[in-house]
Amino acid sequence: MEKLEALKISSMRPRSNILDRPLSKGKSEVSHSIVALLFSEIVQYSQSRVFTVPELQTRLHDLGQDVGTRIIDLYFVRERSSKRETKLTQMLLFVKTTVWKNLFGKEAEKLEHANDDERTYYIIEKEPLVNTFISVPKDKSSLNCANFTAGIVEAVLTHCGFPCKVTAHWHKGTTYMVKFEDFVIARDKQMEEK
C-alpha cells in the first residue's frame, strides 16, 4: 500500500521537460572529459569512413552542420523571450557570444571584418575545445578538427537567414572564415539606409 501511495505522489509532481530548461543552465552539467570522449569517438568514426584529410574535414563539417541546425532550433524553443537578429553585425555578435557560451562555456576571442572583402568576417578562437583533446599524427598535420565547429557556425547563420560558407584555418589559433552570400550584404546595406 505504501508503494502505491509513493507512486501516486511521484507521478503527481510536474516533470521538467529537457526542452523547457534554458541552455544557460545546461552548460555546467557536462564535463570536458565527456565532451573529449564523445568528440574523439566522432573523429575516429569519421576517420574510419574516409581516406584523406580533406574528406575527414568535410565529414566533420557536415556533422557540425547537423548539430548547428539542432542548436539554433533548441535555443529559440528554450529562450522564448529572445528575438531573432536581422542585422548582420548583431547576428555575428550573437554567434560570438551567446552561441559560443552555450556550446563551449566562453565567448570566442575576436570577431573581425576582412579589409579586402566586404563579404568576409573572421571569428578567432585561440584554443578551440574540439582541438584540445585531439592528438594529430604527423602524416595528418593539416587536420583541423575545428571544421566541426565551422559546420555548427555555418548552420546557425544559414538557418537564421544569413547564408554563408564557413571554413576553419590555422591562423592566430583557429580562425573561422565566414563568407556570406552577396544578397546578405546587399540586404544589410538596405537595412542600414532605412
60-119 tens-digit pLDDT: 999 999 999 999 888 888 777 777 788 999 999 999 998 998 888 889 999 999 999 999
Percent with pLDDT over 90 in the chain: 45
pLDDT in tens, 127-140: 888 888 777 777 77
- 169: β partners: 175
Instruction: Give domain status of residue 179, yes or no.
Output: yes
pLDDT value at residue 5: 56
Of residues 25 and 96, the one with the higher pLDDT is 96
Using alpha carbons, list the distances in angstroms from residue 102 to 2, 64, 74, 144.
43, 15, 11, 22
Sheet holding 120-125, edge to edge: 110-113, 120-125, 174-180, 164-170
Instruction: Give domain status of residue 69, yes or no.
Output: yes
Q: pLDDT confidence of 2, banded at 50, 70, 90?
A: low
Instruction: Give domain status of residue 63, yes or no.
Output: yes
pLDDT value at residue 94: 92
Instruction: Give domain status of residue 133, yes or no.
Output: yes
Instruction: Give domain status of residue 99, yes or no.
Output: yes
Of residues 76 and 27, the one with the higher pLDDT is 76
Copy the grid coordinates of residue 95: 554567434
d(CA 125, CA 96): 10
Instruction: Give domain status of residue 10, yes or no.
Output: no
pLDDT value at residue 134: 77
Copy the grid coordinates of residue 140: 595528418
- Split into its structural domains, the chain has a count of 1
Q: What is the CATH number of the domain that holds 189?
A: 3.30.1380.20
Percent with pLDDT over 70 in the chain: 84
By residue range, what is the domain housing residue 154?
32-193
Given a contact cutoff of 8 angstroms between Cβ atoms, the answer to whether 57 and 144 are in contact is yes
pLDDT value at residue 27: 47
pLDDT value at residue 36: 82
- What number is the average pLDDT over the span 145-164? 94
d(CA 72, CA 153): 10
Using alpha carbons, list the distances in angstroms from residue 53 to 13, 123, 143, 194.
51, 23, 6, 46
Averaged pLDDT of the chain = 84
Instruction: Give domain status of residue 50, yes or no.
Output: yes
Q: pLDDT confidence of 125, banded at 50, 70, 90?
A: very high
pLDDT value at residue 103: 86
pLDDT value at residue 23: 57
Does residue 173 carry a pLDDT above 50? yes
Using alpha carbons, list the distances in angstroms from residue 119 to 11, 112, 190.
55, 12, 15
Instruction: Give domain status of residue 57, yes or no.
Output: yes
